[in-house]
Structure 1
Amino acid sequence: MTTTQHDTELAAIAQVVAAVEHAQNNELPEDFVALFRADAVWTTGGGERLFGRDAIGAFTRRVLPGGMAGATVTFEVEHVLFIRPDVAAVKVLQTYRTAEGADVGTPLFVMSKEDGRWLLTACQNTGVTG
C-alpha cells in the first residue's frame, strides 16, 4: 500500500467512525445499522453480544431513540492496524458526556472493506476504569 493509498484508507475509516458518532448523537438507528456488515458481531458496552445486522438493528432500535437525551458522545480514532489492505483493527477513544460528567470508553472496531466501502465487522465496546 502506497502512502497515498494508506492515507486514503485512513480517511475513509475515520469517516465511518464519524458516521457512528453522528448516528448516535442524532439517534439515527437505521444510519447506525447501515454501517455494519450483514454478518457483523457487536458486543455492547453493557456486555450484550449481538450476532448479525438484524440483531444489532433490533437492539439499536430499542435503545437509541431517547438514549442520547441530555448526552453527547465523541469518537476519536486513536490507532489503526491494517491486518490486510482490506481489514483493519481500529482503536477508538469514546467520550460520553452528560450533565453528571464524562465516561470514557475504548471500543475496538474491526472493519473490512466490502465493494469499496469500509464496514463494521466485529466490534467490542469497553469502558475504561480508573
Structure 2
Amino acid sequence: MILMSTTIIDEQAHEAEIAAIKQVVAVVEHSQNNELPDEFVGLFRADAIWTTGGGKRLFGRDAISTFTHQVLPGGMQGSTVSFEVEHVLFIRPDVAAVKVRQVYQTSDGPEVGTPLFVMAKEDGQWRLTACQNTSVLDD
C-alpha cells in the first residue's frame, strides 16, 4: 500500500480548487467575448452582488441578468477582453477572494481593470457571490 503525506494531498486539493476558480474566471471571459449573457449570469449565486465597472450596483441574480441582457449583446463589438487570476485568498475552504487582471482591447487601445470576485463553493461548484469591477488608473 502506498501512503501519500497529508501535505501532498492538501497541496493537490489546494491546486485543484485554484484550477476550478480559474475555470470560472475563464467562463466569465468566454461569456463576455462571445456575448453570452445566460452563460455569464449562470455563474452567480441567486443572492449575488455585482458592481459594474461603471459603478452600477446590482443585487441578486435577477438584477444582474436584466442588466447583462441589456448591455452584453453588442457590448463587445470591436473589442475583446482577457482575464488573468492574479491572486486567490481562501477566506475559508469554501470561500475565496479572487483578484483578477482584466484587459479590454479596444480600437482606442487597452483599458485595464482589476475586478475582485468573492466566490463561494456550493454543491461542489464555485459561484460568483460578491464582485466589484474597478478601473486601473496607472498600470
TM category, shorter:
over 0.9
With normalisation by structure 2, the TM-score equals 0.92
Residue 57 of structure 2 corresponds to which residue in structure 1? 49
Residue 26 of structure 1 corresponds to which residue in structure 2? 34
Q: In structure 2, give the amino acid aligned to 1:58.
A: T
Deviation at 1:99, TM superposition (A): 1.3
Residue 81 of structure 2 corresponds to which residue in structure 1? 73
User: Whole-Å Cα distance in 2 between the matches of residues 98 and 107 of structure 1?
Assistant: 18
Other structure's SS at 1:2 match: helix
With normalisation by structure 1, the TM-score equals 0.99
- Higher radius of gyration, 1 or 2: 2
- Any gaps of 5 or more consecutive residues in structure 2? 1-8
Residue 129 of structure 2 corresponds to which residue in structure 1? 121
User: Whole-Å Cα distance in 2 between the matches of residues 100 and 122 of structure 1?
Assistant: 30
Deviation at 1:17, TM superposition (A): 0.1
- Any gaps of 5 or more consecutive residues in structure 1? none
Q: Percent identity?
A: 72
CA RMSD of aligned residues (A): 0.7
User: Whole-Å Cα distance in 1 between the matches of residues 94 and 77 of structure 2?
Assistant: 36
Task: Give the ranges of 4+ consecutive aligned residues of structure 1 lying more than 3 Å apart after TM superposition.
Answer: none
Other structure's SS at 2:134 match: coil
Query: How many aligned residue pairs are there?
Result: 130
Residue 59 of structure 1 corresponds to which residue in structure 2? 67
Deviation at 1:85, TM superposition (A): 0.2
Deviation at 1:100, TM superposition (A): 1.1
User: Whole-Å Cα distance in 2 between the matches of residues 30 and 14 of structure 1?
Assistant: 19
